[in-house]
Chain A
Amino acid sequence: MNRELDNRIRVFRAEHRLSQTDLAELIGVSRKTISTIEVGRFVPSTVIALKIARHFGVPVEDIFSLKEPDA
């Protein structure tokens, strides 16, 4: 898991009833790219992050956020 970046792609996918393959084809990446972003193995480029946000019609910060440091 990436220690700094959180994402809510899975939540948005569920809301829009999209599979990883569906989202990957809509964004123009492979399914593996989506799945590894979701589990935090891969930090996407700015372009991919913006494409995902644009697809769901939300600001990129609604999908990607920095994890809060431990208190």
Chain B
Amino acid sequence: MSQHESIPQFQDRFLQRTAVGVLCLAGGYAASAGQFLVGEGPAQVLDVLDLAFALAAVAMVLPPFVKLLRLRRSDEWACANTEGFVGEVFRTACVRTFTLMFVLLVLAEPLSDRFLLQLPTNFFVNVILAVTLAMFSLSFLLLNRDDDEDEEDPAG
């Protein structure tokens, strides 16, 4: 956090880092699911990859989260507005993710019962978590992308 970063700017940055952290988690769950589909050698590589993704997710979210816990006690935090653009994008991504997770669960139920009997429940859980978390993160990052609204010279 820079010296002059306002609370709303910090909130935006925290949400952005959370989205990237969630993408790392999605990668971890994908690696976990992949372990059920490959042999022992590649599965060990995926296991290491899973751990690397988990550590990356913690590294992305933990520092700003600690800062957030400290800032939440401040008066400035109490006055900050939480109805900004990035917060709205975050909520939109959450709603999309919930919808997708519901659809995937409905699809996974007959698949796991009839066609993919040899795969354990854990595989389906990991796949659904990987897809939905990736969907959340990518949806957020796409909606939050910078277009043409850059800062302009106030005198211009």
A residues bordering B, Cβ < 8 Å?
Answer: 10, 13-14, 16-22, 24-25, 27-33, 35-39, 41-42, 44-45, 47-48, 51
Q: Per DSSP, are chain A's interface residues mostly helix, strand or loop, or mixed?
A: helix
C-alpha spacing A36/B151, complex, angstroms: 11
Query: Which of A17, A25, A27, A38 is in CB contact (< 8 Å) with B149?
Result: A38
Q: Taking A19-B154, A27-B81, A28-B80 as contacts, is the C-beta distance between A39 and B6 under 8 angstroms?
A: no
Please state if A39 and B154 are interface contacts (CB–CB under 8 Å).
no
Q: Bin chain B's interface residue count.
A: 20 to 34
Which residue from A18, A28, A36, A41 sits with its C-beta under 8 Å from B154?
A18
In the bound complex, do residue B151 and residue A47 qualify as a contact, i.e. CB atoms below 8 Å apart? Answer: no
Whether A33 lies near B86 (C-beta < 8 A) is: yes
**For B85, what are the chain A residues with a Cβ–Cβ distance below 8 Å?**
30, 32-33, 36-37, 41-42
CB contacts (< 8 Å) of B154 on chain A: these are: 13-14, 16-19, 22
Q: A32-B86, A36-B149, A39-B147 are in contact. Are A47 and B81 (CB under 8 A)?
A: yes
| Residues of B close to A29: CB separation below 8 A | 8, 81, 83-84
Q: Name the residue on B nearest A13 (C-beta).
A: B154
User: Nearest A residue to B156 by beta-carbon distance?
Assistant: A14
B83 to chain A, nearest CB (A): 4
Residue in contact with B81 in the complex, picked from A19, A37, A42, A48, CB distance below 8 Å: A48
Cross-chain contact B147 with A42 (CB below 8 angstroms): no
CB distance from A20 to the nearest CB of B (A): 5
Q: Which residue in B6, B79, B148, B150 is a CB contact (below 8 Å) of A30?
A: B6
- By beta carbon, the residue of chain B nearest A18 is B154
